[in-house]
Amino acid sequence: MPLTPITERVLSRELLDVLIRAGLVAVLAIFCFRIFAPFLNLMVWALILAITLYPLQVRLRLVLADKDGLTATLIILVAFAIILVPTYLLGVAVAHSIEHGMAIFKSGSFRIPPPDASVSGWPIIGQRVYDFWQQASIDLTGVAQKFAPQLKEAGLAVLGTVTGLGAGLLVFFVALIVAGILMAHGEKGHRSAVQIASRISGPENGPQITELCTATIRAVAQGVVGIAFIQMLLIGIAFVIMGIPGAGLLALAVLLVGIMQLPATLITVPVIVFVIVTQGVSTMTIIFSVYVFVAGLADNVLKPLLLGRGVAVPMPVVLIGALGGMVTGGVIGLFIGPVMLAVGYQLFWRWVKDQGKPARLKQEHHA
């Protein structure tokens, strides 16, 4: 039946009202996002830390007579101490080493020992390494002047990295404080998360999606810290046995680097070079170098084993999400990637399995 002119005008007016409201909502959402954007990384980190530490909050709350605020405060203070003390000791040790190295270099007493003759016998690169090493042992100043532009660029890159790490550490500490506030209101936050997920995906899927996101974040966080701790033990024991100066601090540096998802080879390769330069090439130094180098790459083997444990999705989904998220979004992407991929995986298979439900319900209704 054709619509009357009056009905068409009413429908046009209602459609215009809907478009205006949708436009106003979109404008409001854009303004809210622009205002919140400077704090987005901070709040994401705080949420990740709160979800990861909340099981500890639940356990300690029983001991502290259900005082959520006091429990969260104690956890955050202990976390600050665990992070600040090694970071401070490592910073002091690095600053002292740099100062000591600069003093030796300025005094002119720094000398590189000549290479062993066996170095020239190394496959492919042996002769080049031997010639460069020999030249550095004779005329270190000339070699430094020859590679001055490259050394300057490397120094600027290292300075930029250190500055970035300092800023990241500051953001992490602020996020830790915000995480304590979130943990103090953990139960309300969980109910709110379930309500939001239920509003988006329906009351049947809401609680399951909330639990899946929580379990995925905790599995990734525990896997990251666990892998970094294992690497610290593997590499630190070798440093102690080999008698490396500051072995304990270097092991802590390996732990911090692993938590930040940087390769442990940033620590192991300079140590290997130091050992070869100071102790020469021998069976012991070769075994040490190979072992430490392989231990620095152990995270590539451990990630498939530890990530995704306790999550109701296949481990490859979590692993691919973690690696892909880290490539596209950095350290935060390491957590967001597997969460998004796990939720998408669950919703996809729920949609696949539910495709026959309407037909079955119709048949039951007719029966």
Side-chain half-sphere exposure of 222, counting CA atoms within 13 A: 19
**What is the tens place of the pLDDT at every residue in 182-216?**
998 888 888 998 998 888 878 888 888 888 888 88
CA dihedral 136, 140, 146, 152 (to 10 degrees): 110
**Domain ranges in the chain?**
39-142+167-184, 217-347
Rounded CA separation 348/354 (Å): 10
| pTM value surpassing 0.85 | no
Rounded CA separation 336/39 (Å): 16
**What is the tens place of the pLDDT at every residue in 253-266?**
888 778 777 788 88
Please, what's the b/e burial string for 182-208 (b: 16 or more CB within 10 A of its CB; e: otherwise)? Answer: bbbebeebbeebbeebbeebeeebbeb
Rounded CA separation 253/248 (Å): 9
Report which of residues 126 and 231 the model is more confident about: 231
pLDDT at 101: 67
Report which of residues 362 and 53 the model is more confident about: 53
How many degrees, rounded to 5, is the angle at CA 35 between CA 31 and CA 41?
125
Radius of gyration of the chain (CA): 29
Q: Name the amino acid, one letter, at 202.
A: G
Q: In sequence order, which residues have a C-beta less than 8 Å from that of residue 33 and are 6 or more positions away?
A: none
Report which of residues 225 and 173 the model is more confident about: 173
Rounded CA separation 48/213 (Å): 10
Rounded CA separation 23/26 (Å): 5
